[in-house]
Each structure stands twice: as C-alpha cells, then as structure tokens.
Structure 1
Amino acid sequence: MISAIILAAGMSTRMGRPKQLLKVGNNTLIRILTENVLLSNVDELLVVTGYQQKKVSAVISDLPVKIVFNPRYKDGQGTSLALGVKSISDAASAFMVFMVDQPLITASLINKLMVEFQKRRCLALRPVCKGLPGHPVIFSSSLIDELKSLSGDEGARQVLKKLDDKVEYLAVGDEAVIFDIDTPKDYEKFVAEMI
C-alpha cells in the first residue's frame, strides 16, 4: 500500500496570497494536484491544510481524500509533514510527498515513480530532471519515526540529507518534477502558457 501526502498548509509569503487557491482556468492549484494524484495508483491521499483551511478544504471536500488540519502551520513545513506522516494508514509500506505548487505532476509520472520504487526496494526515491532533484519523493514507511519528529521549516530536506547515498534517484525527462510556482511572476507565466 502506498499513501500520498499533499502539503497544502503554507502561508505562501513569497506569493502574497495562498498558492493553494490560485486559479488556473476554472480550477485551483490544490484541486488540480489532488485530482491528478487521485488518478494515479496511490491507495490513499491525505491533504494537510493550515492557512485558509476552510477555503482550501471546501475546494476538495467532494473528493475521496482525508483532510488533516495542522494547527501549527505557522511553525513551518516540517510540522505539516510530521502530521501527515502520523496520519497515514498503518498498512502503508511507503508514502509520497507532494508540494501543492506543482500542478504539472501527472498520474502517469506518479505511477512511474511507484513502479520504480517497488522494483528498487530502497529507503527513498527522488525524481531528477536536468540534474536537479524534484518532487514527489517516495519514502519507505521505515522512515516514519524520523519524519514524525520534524519541526520548523526544514521539511524532508534534513532527512534526505541524513540518508545521503541511501537516497536513490530516477532520471525523468518531465520538467514537472522540478517546476513549481513560488512568486506572482511564476504564476503569471504559468497561466499565460496554459492558455
């Protein structure tokens, strides 16, 4: 069983408004990514909310996801990831971590990563494009305790750093794994290209 966690609790300070709710056509970033993950072969999907929790939850409340509210979202991404990891099914043998600002991640890309992870039986698998590490990252459930104790804004970065050469990489040609929307300029460019 593979679970998925979407981190959607942040305050999007560089964007100046909640990224989760940014519109792309008639959809929002959180809705686009949630639907894409649900089209993949993951067994359960959790969405960790925080900032603008009611509005974010309302956008995806009709979808088969488990919404988990992080009351400590202001303390950083680490707290959201720790809560997400604590909330996944005990039956999960692995879990994937998604960032809400990566709307180009497709179900086929997710499935490709899952198949590769199951083949390699590694502790963590991370996609790489053009030499740059990206998301989503898949972790073995044996790392749950380590990720459960995260705090602050570090997220999984410190765990990946500690794992060092135990992290395996999958080269992909799809820039979706390294594309994200951080600033108003990124957003405007993305929307213009989508039209």
Structure 2
Amino acid sequence: MVTEAQRPFEAVVLAAGAARRFGGGKLVAPFEGGVVLDGALAAAFAAPVGRVIVVTGADADPVAVAALAFAERADQAGRLVLVHAADHAEGMGASLRAGAAAVRADAAGAFVFLGDMPRIPHAVLAPLAEAIRAGAAAAAPVFQGRRGHPAVFARELVPALRGLGGDEGARAVLAGLGGRLALVQAPDAGVLFDVDTPKDLASGLDS
C-alpha cells in the first residue's frame, strides 16, 4: 500500500502558446545547445514526479517532436505524456485545464512548469514538494522578493485547475490561498527567467 508520503506528484508542462511576441516557434528555438523547451523538460523530469505531461497547442507537431526527442535522450520516454489542448487559442487557462485533466486522481499534486522558462534551478524542486507534504495547499519559489515558477498544487486544488478558462492561469487559483501558499526561497533567478522575445535567448538571467 502506498502511503501519502510516498505518493508521487505529476508534472504539467505548458507548451501550447502561439508565442506571438517571439514570432512563433519559440519553444523549439535553439538555446544553450538544445531548444528552449529542453530546460523546462529537464526540470520537470528532475522533480519528484511520476509522469511529465506536456500540453501542446499552437505548434503541436514540432513541440511534440522536441519533447519526445528530449525524453528519449534522457531515457525517460516512458514517463512522458503528450496532451493536445484543442482550445489552446482560448488562453493559458485552457492549456492548464487540459494538463490538469490528465493528472491522475491519486497523485499527491501537480507541478506546473512553463515551457518558456528554461533555467529553473533543480535544487528548488524537492523543497516545493516537501512544503505540500507538510500541509501547504500550494507552493511557489521566490527570489529577491519576487514569486516565480514552477508552482505546485496539492491534490485538493487540482480540480480547481481543471475548471480554469480563458487566459487565467494558475494565479487565479493561488490568489485566495493566503497563508496556505508556501513560499520557498530559490537559489537563483532561474525561477523568474523566461523567454518572450528572441533577444531573451542571449540575455540569460540578466533579462
């Protein structure tokens, strides 16, 4: 019998956006010897999770190919689940809804990664999970007073993620938690760094 403390989390990687500010194709753009999506996938597979659910949308085929290629290189293809958000144009809420719908009901909770955040420090992942196991409803990293990603949601909040719509992301679920949201200090600004435009590919953590 699996105890509550042994129950694995699952990871949801949101990779469905059209990347209009970037000019399209952002997640498969070259970055640090791979593509932008690789960094988020590396963090997701490094987290204390069973499966990694990648939500595709606007660039579904190239994103799926990139995700599978990374998983195969890492010998983790058996943990990868690809989910397509047919209504991705509705906004991030639709993508998150699709990912949350794929999270197993008996999972301890869900990590939510953004596909365009390639420098998440792996050292913050276990402490985030530990905060949930200690009783927090959700947990998020902070660096120099700024809240970053990924956010982690306890099992009790996954149904709320499944009910999101439009362009409202996980912030809508986190907003009313108050003290039930645990903030975990991150070791560096990777929890804040994202790629929005091509110039971000060269700007690193100083962007």
Q: TM-score, normalised by structure 1?
A: 0.90
Question: Residue 138 of structure 2 contacts residue 181 of structure 2 at CA under 8 Å; is this kept in 1?
Answer: yes
Q: Which amino acid aligns with 2:144?
A: K
Which of 48, 55, 63 aligns to 1:48? It is 55
Summarize deviations over 1:134-158 as a string: whole Å, max 9, x none. 0001101101221111011111111
User: Unaligned 5+ residue runs, structure 2?
Assistant: 1-7, 72-76
Q: Which amino acid aligns with 2:189?
A: E
Q: Distance in 2 between matches of 1:109 and 1:173?
A: 7
2:16 equivalent to 1:2: no
Q: Which amino acid aligns with 1:53?
A: A
2:163 equivalent to 1:157: no
Task: Tell me what 2:116 maps to.
Answer: 101
Task: Tell me what 1:31 maps to.
Answer: 38
Q: Distance in 2 between matches of 1:171 and 1:108?
A: 10
Q: Distance in 2 between matches of 1:34 and 1:13?
A: 22
User: Unaligned 5+ residue runs, structure 1?
Assistant: none
Q: Distance in 2 between matches of 1:114 and 1:146?
A: 19
Question: Residue 121 of structure 2 contacts residue 188 of structure 2 at CA under 8 Å; is this kept in 1?
Answer: no
2:67 equivalent to 1:60: yes
2:48 equivalent to 1:17: no
Q: TM-score, normalised by structure 2?
A: 0.85
Cα distance, 1:37 vs. partner?
2.0
Show structure 1 runs of 4+ deviating over 4 A: none
What aligned pairs does 1:125-140 form with structure 2 within 5 A after superposition?
A: 125-140=139-154
Aligned sequence identity (%): 29
Which of 168, 172, 179 aligns to 2:182? It is 168
Q: Distance in 2 between matches of 1:32 and 1:145?
A: 27
Q: Which amino acid aligns with 1:97?
A: V
Q: Distance in 2 between matches of 1:171 and 1:96?
A: 16
Which stretch shows the higher mean deviation, 157-166 or 129-138? 157-166
Question: Residue 37 of structure 1 contacts residue 106 of structure 1 at CA under 8 Å; is this kept in 2?
Answer: no
Q: How many residues in Structure 1 have an aligned counterpart in Structure 2?
A: 191
Question: Residue 40 of structure 1 contacts residue 108 of structure 1 at CA under 8 Å; is this kept in 2?
Answer: no
Cα distance, 1:165 vs. partner?
3.3
Q: Distance in 1 between matches of 2:33 and 2:199?
A: 20
Q: Aligned-pair RMSD on alpha carbons?
A: 1.8
